[in-house]
Amino acid sequence: MDKPAQAASALTGKRIIDLSRVLGGPYCTQVLADHGAEVIKIEPPQGDETRDWGPPFHEGDAAYYIGVNRNKRSMGLDLTQPAGRDLLLQLLDGADILLENYKPGTMEKWGLGYEAVLRERFPRLIHCRVSGFGADGPLGGFPGYDAIVQAMAGWFSVNGEKGSQPTRLGIAMVDMGTGLYTAVALLMALAERERSGLGQYIDMTLYDCAVSLMHPHIVNYKYSGKIPVATGNAHPNISPYDTFRTRTVDIFIGAGNNGAFAKLCEELGCRELTEDSRFTHNIDRVNNRADLKAELESRLMKIDGSELCQRLLQAGLPAGPIHDTAQVVAHPHTQHRGMNVEQDWYRMTGTPIKFSRTPGTLRYLPPKFGQHTREILVEYGLTVEEVDALLGAGVVLEKRR
């Protein structure tokens, strides 16, 4: 992310009015902002609550907030006031995307619903709502947080060690997965608009995305009738695909086909295992995974795991040591791939999307609340006096209420 700021990126010229808070929506808009989209982050008077989700903090803002809000400008706006809603309509003039994650019905209650108002007034606008469960159906309108949806969509039931209690994933992957799905949806809508000239409404939910990401567990259940359970680090459909102990460190090995298994056995000096009827094909290895793990670990416990991983990788076999967060950050490949970004006080991961001509950029550090309120309003043609009046009335804000 070291391209000169003045050069065009993939989404340069696209404007997003971002009313979202917490993680899914902000993660989505950061992905788009990294690649040139102009993102105006509209925060309620009390601010995005993740500013308080610490420790750790930097100058009053939690690292949690800092991690998903770079390349955006912040403006405080009170949409409960009619003047605030009128101002939002001004901001939407010429915008490409409106993203929000209010409870379904909120925008409609404010007279800002897509069908009733926005579609006719801004025919090219793409309005995307991210909610827990959508507006209708048995769970329609209910609130949803990452962990609750993980639990309800079955993730807890397949996570953890065999026989363990249902366990939450250590990453908020429902929120972040929804953010990524939403970014894909928005890019699809922009592509379709090139053909039709029209925007549309996008209904994204945490629940739908979480169910969609339950692969291969749901499809396994649909074809077998067996309810999937937690299998620890072992894959339910592939073996060996698991963590293994070595003399020095725990490692993960994935051998997804007969050829890879044969190569693994050759590297470990146990080619006889390929001729063992318990391990001939993947289905045999899955059905006898405990025996196979015992056979492999009896060899692995005599070997330096780090050295073995390098040898296996060079032989074309996926394998790697189990790292903690500090080791990931310090790893030379993390640095080589540009996944450590530092500027002034800012320290974060880089973008994983690597374009050849239009790589991502770091244009704005994560903003303080309302940092750009005046700047944005002046760009939209308001006078200094009009901005002062809006600030005085509490319609727009530069400091959290």
CB-neighbour burial class of residue 200 (10 A; exposed 0-12, middle 13-18, buried 19+): middle
Verify whether residue 78 is a known catalytic residue: no
| Structural tokens at position 333 | 């490949």
Count how many Cα atoms sit within 13 Å of the Cα of residue 59 in the half-sphere of its side chain.
7
**Virtual torsion, Cα 195, 196, 199, 203, nearest 10 deg:** -80
Q: Give start and end residues of each alpha helix (H) in 102-172.
A: 106-109, 119-121, 146-152
| Structural tokens at position 328 | 């990931």
d(CA 255, CA 240): 6
Cα angle 253, 353, 200; round to 5: 120
How does 46-70 read in b/e, with b if 16+ C-beta sit within 10 Å?
ebbebbeeeeeeeeebbbbbbbbbb
d(CA 206, CA 132): 5
Cα angle 274, 279, 284; round to 5: 150
| Structural tokens at position 231 | 């299998």
Residue from 18, 78, 175, 242 carrying the catalytic annotation: 175
Length of the chain: 401
CB-neighbour burial class of residue 197 (10 A; exposed 0-12, middle 13-18, buried 19+): exposed
d(CA 302, CA 314): 20
CB-neighbour burial class of residue 113 (10 A; exposed 0-12, middle 13-18, buried 19+): middle
How does 232-252 read in b/e, with b if 16+ C-beta sit within 10 Å?
eebbbebbbbbebebeeeebb
d(CA 30, CA 193): 22
Active site residues: 175
